[in-house]
A and B are shown apart, each in its own frame.
Chain A
Amino acid sequence: MIPVIVILAYLALIAFIGGMAFKKSKENTEDFFLANRSIGPLIFFLSIFATNMTAFAILGSSGQAYRQGIGIYGLMASSSCFVIPLTIFFIGTRLWALGKKFGHQTQVSYFRDRWECNHIGTVIFALTAAMLVPYMIISIMGGGTVLANISASGPLHQPLIPYAWGCAVVAVVVTLNVFLGGMRGTVWVNILQTILFLCFGAVAVAVISHALPLGFSDYMSKLAADPKTRFLVTRERMPQVAFWSYTLIPLSSIMFPHMAIMCFSARHVSAFKQTVIAYPLAILAIWLPCVFLGVLGFATLGKIPDPDGVLVQMLQKYAPAWLAGVLGAGIISAVMGSDAHQVLALSTMFTKDIIVHYGGREKFGERRSVHFARIFIIFVTLIAYFVALSLKEKQGIFEIAVRYAFSGFAAMAPVMVAALFWKRSTKWGALAATLLVGGFLVWTALMQAGHEPGEVLWQIGEIKVFFMNPRGDVSFWNGFMTVVPMVIGSSVCVVLFSLLTRPPSPATIARYFDATASHASS
């Protein structure tokens, strides 16, 4: 009961903050979607970090560490430590400058203006929205599952908050927060959320270490000494090519529309300075304790039916009830922090890239555009909620969709790089890359659904170009993840089709490249 009270108090606080932000808001889209481009350095860091961290950072990381061992940290966390700050440094800062200079609020509006295109921007919008929706649905599913698990009590483990109610609570609180406060409400809440889940790992490790009968070193030595569990403290079962492939996945981060929109919202470019330095340290603060506790969970709990619940089980066994409440709030924070940004990003894209772009501003004005955005927020959350309820048993499908969506966003990164750094790039290059990414994702989904592990999908002579790996995922030659051919293919498409077609007018190129060139300031 105590954890549930702590979580409900926390959710009430979130809704209250949304109400406070509403009082400060102005009825125009720049204020609603970007908080008037006024986000300062500390809030910018806390918020951009919350945008990217989902419940997976806490529950999934420990669950995967329980299954696969310490290699998960290098695979998912330290690769992000390298790639994400670099993309924020090179791409995020330029997006900020162009957004401020030309008034862009979304990536698509930038692409349209930069490449003098209209419907190609709509194609990029459609692919981006299609890849984002499963991510949003799984956030609500994750919230419902977490609330049900944490509130379970008694010998039958009956949840005090059933799954359907848990999903509803998360959906309502996120909607209230985004509907009322827009970007301002979302980033205010992020301050609390990020601090909460940044502290969580260290607190959990400290509390558990006090309660365990043996020391950490005893458990880890035991795992290392047993040939059956040695893989947990090494990476001997982790293929090196898959480990390398994964370094391309964090390229997705800057292509998430919610991440790009955050970049537009900073007051000064200097807000990015602290963010890029602190980002790897924040990843370390969350992931290291969670991965370590996941491996430790194997040593202390033995085999458990639901590895993703290893952290919850350890806390239930070794920590007081209040900490389980803080854990719940931390996980729900991670779920809602990213979900709120996804909902806001979808509503921003729908309003700016579709309604306003196709003549809505002249027809409805700024104030009514904000109303459209709010209606869209309710609409999209309701859809996500009902999908989360009706397809509860098919959560795995959404997990696969999200996994491939990450590869899809990563493969769109060459499009952004071309737009920002290559004058000769054209809308046709961007379209070719977008269609390739979309087509590849559809093909992968079809292959995934219709083939068994071990089957070869495409072979040239003796070389297996695409095949199903033992986990049932589509793999590229030699065991590389599909993100590798997708990024290479997308890059080739951008270059090839750009060279074959006419570039934008010299005036447009000058406008955009003078705006970001260092020589222009001197």
Chain B
Amino acid sequence: MKKLFLFVFILAIYAAHQDSWNWAKSAPMLFGFLPPGLAYQAAYSIACAAMMAVLVKVAWPKHLEEQADKPRQ
């Protein structure tokens, strides 16, 4: 269930990159100078960092460290 939730979560973030509703918009500008398309994509970058923070928190592959430290077979 957790895997499915994370998969849908990642897919939703990916889909949000294609912000077709902002394509031809030039107003309102954020802080008066940042066009909406650019402001959205900047916020999207922050959302990507947040997505990675969630993945690190709930899906970190900590078993890799233990496996890597085991002697070679």
Contact = CB atoms under 8 A, between A and B. Distances in A.
Contacts, number: 157
B53 A277 contact: yes
B33 interface: yes
B41 A74 contact: yes
A491 interface: no
Interface residues of B, number: 46
Nearest to A284: B45
A374 B31 CA distance: 53
A98 B34 CA distance: 45
Most A Cβ at <10 Å: residue of B23, B32, B44, B45: B45
A220 B13 CA distance: 29
Contacts of A277: 49, 52-53, 56
Nearest to A94: B64
A511 B49 contact: no
Most B Cβ at <10 Å: residue of A233, A236, A268, A278: A233
- Chain A interface secondary structure, helix, strand, loop or mixed? helix
B45 A100 contact: no
Nearest to B59: A89
A448 B53 CA distance: 42
B67 A515 contact: yes
Most A Cβ at <10 Å: residue of B23, B32, B35: B35
B72 to A, nearest CB: 6
A240 interface: yes
A217 B61 contact: no
Interface in A236-288: 236, 238, 240, 243-244, 247, 268-270, 273, 276-281, 283-284, 288
A279 B56 CA distance: 13
A233 to B, nearest CB: 4
Interface of A: 70-71, 73-74, 77-79, 81-82, 85-86, 89, 93-94, 96-98, 100-103, 215-217, 219-221, 224, 230, 233-236, 238, 240, 243-244, 247, 268-270, 273, 276-281, 283-284, 288, 291-292, 511, 514-518, 520-522
Given A101-B70, A224-B26, A276-B56, 9 more contacts: A74-B19, A82-B44, A82-B51, A97-B67, A233-B38, A247-B14, A268-B65, A269-B65, A520-B63
